[in-house]
Amino acid sequence: MEKLQAFLEKYLMPVASKVSGNRYLQSIGRAFSILLPVTIMGAIFLLLQTLQIPVYQEFLKATKLNVILGFVPAITTNMLAVYLVFLVGKSFMEQNGYAEDATAAGMFSLLVFFLMIPLGVSGVAAESKEVVNIAAALNTRFLGAPGLFTAIIVGLLVPTVYIFTLKREWVIKLPDGVPPAISHAFSSLIPGFIIAILFSLVRYGFSLTTYANFNQFIYTFLQQPLTGLGASPLTFMLFIFLVSLFWFFGIHGGQVVMPFLTAIYTPLALENLNALSTGAAFPHLITQSNWFVFASIGGGGGTLGLCIYLAFFAKSARFKSLGRLALPASLTGINEPITFGLPIVLNPILIIPFIVTPLTTFLISYGLTVAKIIPAL
């Protein structure tokens, strides 16, 4: 055990420290955290609209509430990439110490995101059954789940270019007497022009390829393989294992793993929500919801049961006090009082159930989902 611990401390801890401190990953994680209320709102409204109770559905149709409830999912769940690209761009600037330019960077990220979406849609007319092409229309396909990875990449690339221009002072400097708001607006003009020209060339370059546009390239080569990998229970179990292992060394496992977990499993969750809106079967059995509902009951390691046992059944007064202190926090998924107070950190005995428990709860839930005893989330 000592040799294994020494090996992990030598090779794993430096990697984990670098990953947890990586500004790119921190920006992605922060953006998804800020986006959470919008995601939850869209999911709740969609659930209220599609709840399959015959009497309830008849009531919604009679009162037109089914139409009203559909407004919010249409501009939240179906347009999540639009919110994400702005938040990633803004968060990345803030992480790099450019808070004053963060909003401008988010705005330019949004500009580039729309720039990369191909114009023009086609469809079949209901009456004539002829194919109709509309050139001056925005293809909405990549505004939702298929565009999330594009949103992340654009949200990181645009502020990187912005920072590059700021460091070289490629900005318009107005006299000191000019109001700060006006001066700051003009200072972002040159970086904005550079970003617009650069990514216009990128868009044109991809239009010459078989993929036709940047979004389709990212979706084909990055998002589809990663989400396909994420659909495997083994991938999900690897994330669970890594979170628990990082906690053993006192590193916040969630901060290290969550940016990867969120980027991979959010598109899967959105595809399930889209299936829910159409009444189709869920295409994915594993989403990020499995993490919070089954794999981290009481926080990382699934420590809620441990907190309950310590609070009410522990013979040691110290452990009983610790359990009662940690239980309220554990109910909200926060388990640092147990992790550091028991402690589980650097404890070769307690790390075993800390790893095995969340793996077991996930496997049980996955088996029940496959057997259709419980629904997919």
In tens digits, the chain (377 residues) has pLDDT values of 566 666 666 666 676 667 767 888 889 989 988 998 898 898 888 888 888 788 888 898 899 998 898 899 889 988 999 999 999 999 999 999 999 899 999 999 999 999 998 777 766 666 666 777 776 777 788 898 888 999 999 999 999 999 999 999 888 887 877 787 788 788 889 999 999 999 999 999 998 888 888 988 888 888 888 888 888 899 999 999 988 888 887 777 777 888 888 888 888 888 888 888 777 888 888 988 888 888 888 888 888 888 999 889 888 888 888 889 888 888 878 887 888 888 888 788 888 889 999 999 999 999 999 998 888 87
- Measured CA to CA, the distance from residue 230 to residue 245 in angstroms comes to 20
Nearest to 255 by CA among 81, 61, 42, 33: 33
Token code pair at residue 264: 């991979």
The pLDDT score that the predictor gives to residue 298 is 84
**Cβ density class 311-330: b for 16+ within 10 Å, e for less:** beebeeeebbebbebbbebb
The neighbour count for residue 82, using CB atoms within 10 Å, is 20
pTM summary value: 0.79
Domain borders along the chain are 76-121+133-229
Q: CA distances (Å), 371 to each of 39, 283, 285, 376, in order?
A: 28, 15, 11, 11
- Spatial distance between the Cα atoms of 324 and 334, rounded to a whole number of angstroms: 14
Residue 123, beta-bridge partner list: 132
CB distance 285 to 370 below 8 Å: yes
